[in-house]
Amino acid sequence: MASAPFDLTGKVALVTGGNGGIGKGIALGLARAGASVAVAARNRDKSTAAVAELEAAGAQAISINCDVTDKDEVNAAVAGCVERFGGLDIVVNNSGVNVRKVPQDLSLEEWQTVIDVNLTGVFLMSQAAYPEMVKRGGGKVINIGSMMSIFANETLAPYSASKGGVVQFTKACAAAWAKDNIQVNSILPGWITTDMTETLRVNVPERYRTITERTPAKRWGRPDELAGTAVFLATVASDFVTGTAIPVDGGYSIQS
């Protein structure tokens, strides 16, 4: 192991959905550890603002417009990152969407949209990144799952299915790519305060209170609190860790 196991100096990371919420929190963590960061997302204004924050943190950073459900755009994002920074060492598959409905009320389009972004997008980006990591002699893929990778909720059928699939896809890639010195792991965020979850706090305050009470830490997490786990999984400190799913949830998942 290198003398500075949590140092990412000289490494290149691509973070999907890295312009807000959990993705930006992780991108900033990687940047502060020394990585150059490409933010791949659809909202150009948010991406521009995120790049400014990354640069303020001392990183080289770029934004790349990318819809993770579009194979051509995914391939172009990887190519653009490699062209700018000379290679690709770390991918964080973070992009995600959600639709809250009971299963019988879901349209096929709603189901497919969630599956396409949350699961197929992970497949497309991982597949595109693989040959570039092989060229570098190894790499790190970090897939963002969810508490819904473990639990179920009556209004989150496609989200739960997609995030459960992320964990199983992570294991499959970890087994397939170990020979290439590519470690593939997942992080399972608990209830984190983001734009996506803010609507729950506002619209369903009783559910917000129930979640807070169930969590041993008695609070919701912050996006930056995912950064430490991501940095660990992105560095040589985790070279013998692969195929795992690590909850970062304030203890939510240990409660009965």
Known catalytic residues are 159
* Tokens (6 digits) for 85: 């920074």
Of 239, 234, 152, 146, which is closest to residue 190 (Cα–Cα)?
A: 146
Residue type, 128: A
Question: Environment class of residue 79 by beta-carbon count within 10 Å: exposed (0-12), middle (13-18) or buried (19+)?
Answer: middle
Cα–Cα separations (whole angstroms), residue 12 to 38, 39, 84, 155: 8, 11, 10, 38
Which three-class secondary structure state does DSSP give residue 241?
coil
Question: Environment class of residue 138 by beta-carbon count within 10 Å: exposed (0-12), middle (13-18) or buried (19+)?
Answer: middle
- Which residue reads 């965020």 in tokens? 189
Residue type, 83: E
Residues 151-175: b if buried by 16+ CB within 10 A, e if exposed: eeeeebbbbbbbbbbbbebbbebbe
- Residue 123 carries which DSSP code? H
